[in-house]
Amino acid sequence: MELKGKFADAVNDQVTMELKAAMVYRQLSIEMDYRDLPGMASWFLIQSGEELGHAQRFTDHMTDREACPKIETIEAPGLTIKTPLDAFKAALDNEQQVSESIRNLYRMSQEVGDIDSIPLLNWFINEQLEEESTVSEIIGRINLIGDDGDGLLRLDAELGARKPEPGDG
């Protein structure tokens, strides 16, 4: 089934949103690297790659259905980060925006009767639940650590042990 009309436009908007999310994570990586937290910098960089992979999944869905994705304007992330907690709160906010956009795509797919997109959107709904849960857990741990520098460095080392998933951007 060809992907067209307002739903194709909405999927295309999601491609751009995923690319923007990758830029947000890239900036957060830079912020953590600047603060000498290489593990957190690496964690955010891997997240950036995941977001690129997500953009590619939506792009592939469009091209497989005879629609040509067009990357729209992406503004540089205007983040004010002073602490790791700020960075992970920005990440959670970013994930929540992406999640809501995907839920809206799901609603629209039902509205227009595009059942061919539902498997893709179901995958993304599950992925977003996982993403938000992971970032929320890290925020909780940073809150527990408080001003304990040793605790922050242990968390940094733990997050730095993360490896990219096969197929990530």
Binding-site residues for Fe cation: 18, 51, 54, 95, 128
Binding residues: 18, 51, 54, 95, 128
What one-letter code names the amino acid at 12? N
Assess contact for 53 and 169: CB atoms under 8 A.
yes
116-125 long-range CB contacts below 8 Å, 24 or more apart?
116/1, 116/3, 116/65, 117/3, 117/7, 117/11, 117/61, 120/57, 120/58, 120/61, 123/57, 124/54, 124/57, 125/99
Tell me how far CA of residue 162 lies from CA of 14, 46, 108, 152, 155, in angstroms.
26, 8, 35, 16, 12
